[in-house]
Structure 1
Amino acid sequence: MDIENDWPAFYDWAHASFTDDVEFYLEELKDVKGPVLELGCGTGRVTIPLAKQGIAVTALDISPDMVESAQKKAALDGVTSDQANFIVGDMRDFDLDRTFGAVLMPYRSFQWLLSIVDQRCALLNAWHHLLPEGKLIFDVFNPTTDVLRDDGEEPFLVKDVPGEKKGHKFQLLFQNQWDHNYQINNASLIARELGPGGKEIKKVSQSIQVRYTYRYEMMHLLELSGFQPLELYGSFARDDYQDASEHMIWIAQRLT
C-alpha cells in the first residue's frame, strides 16, 4: 500500500474493518420504496453491499478520486452502473432531477460540513430529492465530555496491522485539535509504515476538519429543514441513545 500517494487505498485500509453500519442500513431500507441516494459515498464501502442486495443506489461524493476508486471496486465486485451509479458532486449544491425513497449519509459524512449554512444546504438538498414521507438516515459521533476533553497533545493509536513484507506493519493514528468556539475538530490522520524492529520507514499525515453537533441542535436543524425526527439510536445495534453513547444515529422523515 502506498500511504503517500494513494489516498483512496489508504482510506479503504483505514476504514475497511468497520461494517456495523452496513447491516443497519440494509435493515432500514427493507421497506423503502424506490431507489436510494447516498451522500458522501467515499469509495463505496456502504454503496456496494447495498447494491449487491438488490437496492438501486445513486452515490455522490465530492472527491473525483474517491468516485473513481468506488467505480473500480464496484466493477471488480460485479456491480453494474445500473445497480450503483457513482457521481462526483457536492452534497451542499446538486440537482439530480429525480427523487428517492431514502437518502443516506453514512459514516459521519454530514460532519464534513463545517458551518450551519452548509449543513442546512445539505439537509434541504436531501429534502428536495426525497419522495413524500421518504427517509433520511445518517450518523454522527456523539460529542461526549470524555471525547471533547482529549487535549490532542499526543496522537492515539487506532489501528495496527501487519504489512505485506515480512516484519513490516502499518499503523493508523488520530490526533484531535478541538476548536470549541466553532465546534470543529482540526484533526490529523496519521499513517506510519514500520520496518523490522519498529523502524519508521514512512510517515504521512492528512489534515481533516469535522464539525460536531449536539443532540438538540441536530433536532432543530432537521425540523428547520422540513424533517420530522423519528428515531435516535446510540449504536448500530439500535440501543437507545444515552448521554455516553458513541454514536447519534438519526432516522427522520420528509414532511410534505
Structure 2
Amino acid sequence: MAPKRERGRHGVGSKLERGTRHVESEPEGGTRHVEFEPEGGTRHVESEPEGGTREVEFEPEGGTRDVESEQERGTRDVESKPLARERRFDVLADLFDFDYPITTDVPFWVEMAKRANFPVLELGCGTGRILVPIAKTGVLATGVDSSARMLELAAKKARAAGVEGRLSFARADMASFSLDIKGYTMCFAARNSFMHLLVKEEQESSLASIRDHLVDGGILGIDVFNPKLEQVIGVRGVVAHDYTKYHPGLKRIITKRTRRTVDPFEQRQHLTYEYDLVSDDKTDRFSADVELRYYFRSELTLLLEKNGFAIEEIFGDYDFSPLRSSSPAMIFIARKT
C-alpha cells in the first residue's frame, strides 16, 4: 500500500493496535483499568519497579504463524502488501459474537450466494457469522479479514458446524489483496465493512483487487448504512449505553458504552467502545476506537461505476425491498463490467 496512507478501525500508534494492555496497581478491592487481552494468549511481561505500571503484550497462542502452518487449518496470511488493519480487531474478537448477535442480514447473503453459485468471497468476514451459514447450503466460500484472532474463531466455528471443507480463510487487508484462488462468482462486504476504508485511494485499490478476483460478470455486494442528517450533523461525544448483560463464557457481567463523534466534512464517524467486565472481586476496563467513512447513495454509485462496476440494484433492507429515504441500509448489488 502507499506509504503514509490513512488507516481505518483504530488510530495509528495506539496500544490496542499492538494488543498491549497497561495494568495500573490500585488499592485492594479497587478497579483496574486494563486493555483487554483475548483468552489463551501468551503474555510477555517487562519487569518494572514494584508498584509501577507493567506493560503486557499479547501474542496469539502459538506465536507467529507462517503461510504453511496456516494452510494446514485453512487459514493463510497474504503478505503481498502490509496489513494496514493488522491486529486492529484482535482485541475485540473474543467479544464480537457476544457484541453483535445479529442474524437479520444472514438470509439475504445466503440467498445471494446461492444465486451466484460458487465460489464466493467475503471481505471483513470476522468470526464467520455469515460465511458458515452460507457453507451449510453447500456453497464454497473464502473469508478475508485482517484480524488473526477473528479468523481463528471463524475456523473454529466452521469445524464445529462441519463445513470446514467448504470454507477457507485468508488474513489480508481488504484495501489491497491478492489471493491464490481467483475466479469468484460473487464478492461481498457486509454490515458496514467497506466503511473501514477511509480514503479514496483505499476504496479504489480495494475495488481493483475485487475486480481482479471476480469472473467476468461477477457480482459485488456492498452493505453500508443509509445516513440521515440527524445522524451525522452536530453529533460530538454523544455517549450511549449499549447493554449490561452476563457473559457465560467469561463469567462476567459486561457493560458496554459507545462514544460517538461525527465529522460531516470528512464524512467520518469516530466510535469509542468502552467496556467494563465485572466479577465478584474486580472490574476490568478497556476501550477500542473505530473510525468509519460513510457514503451517500450517489457518491457510492459513482465510485463503483468509475471503477468498473455497473449498478444492478440498490436495496434498502434485507427483505430485498428497494432503497427509500427512510431505509436503514444501502445494499448495492453491482456487476463487473
Q: TM-score under structure 2 normalisation?
A: 0.69
Kindly tell me the number of residue pairs found equivalent between the two proteins.
249
Following the alignment from structure 1 to structure 2, what is the Cα–Cα distance between the partners of residues 154 and 147?
Answer: 11
> CA contact under 8 A between 1:192 and 1:200: conserved in structure 2?
no
Instruction: Identify which of 82, 88, 99 aligns with 1:14.
Output: 99
Aligned to 1:153: 237
Following the alignment from structure 1 to structure 2, what is the Cα–Cα distance between the partners of residues 112 and 38?
Answer: 14
Gaps of 5+ in 1: none
Residue 188 of structure 1 and its aligned partner are, at CA, apart by 0.7
Superposed, which structure 2 residues align to 1:12-161 within 5 Å? 12-15=97-100, 17-80=101-164, 82-97=165-180, 98-149=182-233, 151-161=235-245
Q: Which moved more, 1:85-94 or 1:211-220?
A: 85-94
Following the alignment from structure 2 to structure 1, what is the Cα–Cα distance between the partners of residues 282 and 238?
Answer: 17
Aligned to 2:246: 162
Following the alignment from structure 1 to structure 2, what is the Cα–Cα distance between the partners of residues 64 and 204?
Answer: 20
User: Residue deviations 1:76-106, cap 9 Å, x none?
Assistant: 22222x3110110112221225210100111
Following the alignment from structure 1 to structure 2, what is the Cα–Cα distance between the partners of residues 150 and 244?
Answer: 20
- Secondary structure of 1:155's counterpart equals strand
Structure possessing the higher radius of gyration over alpha carbons: 2
Gaps of 5+ in 2: 1-33, 39-91
> CA contact under 8 A between 1:151 and 1:177: conserved in structure 2?
yes
> CA contact under 8 A between 1:150 and 1:176: conserved in structure 2?
no
Residue 204 of structure 1 and its aligned partner are, at CA, apart by 1.8
Residue 164 of structure 1 and its aligned partner are, at CA, apart by 3.6
For the pair 1:203 / 2:285, whether they are aligned, the reply is yes
Matched residues, percent identical? 29
The residue type equivalent to 2:301 in the other structure is: M
For the pair 1:5 / 2:89, whether they are aligned, the reply is no
Residue 254 of structure 1 and its aligned partner are, at CA, apart by 0.9
Following the alignment from structure 1 to structure 2, what is the Cα–Cα distance between the partners of residues 231 and 158?
Answer: 33
Following the alignment from structure 2 to structure 1, what is the Cα–Cα distance between the partners of residues 313 and 244?
Answer: 35
- Secondary structure of 2:211's counterpart equals helix
The residue type equivalent to 1:10 in the other structure is: L
The residue type equivalent to 2:177 in the other structure is: F
Q: Which moved more, 1:208-217 or 1:171-180?
A: 171-180
The residue type equivalent to 1:55 in the other structure is: V
For the pair 1:173 / 2:257, whether they are aligned, the reply is yes
Following the alignment from structure 1 to structure 2, what is the Cα–Cα distance between the partners of residues 237 and 182?
Answer: 31
User: Residue deviations 1:104-147, cap 9 Å, x none?
Assistant: 11121100001011011111211121111111112001111121
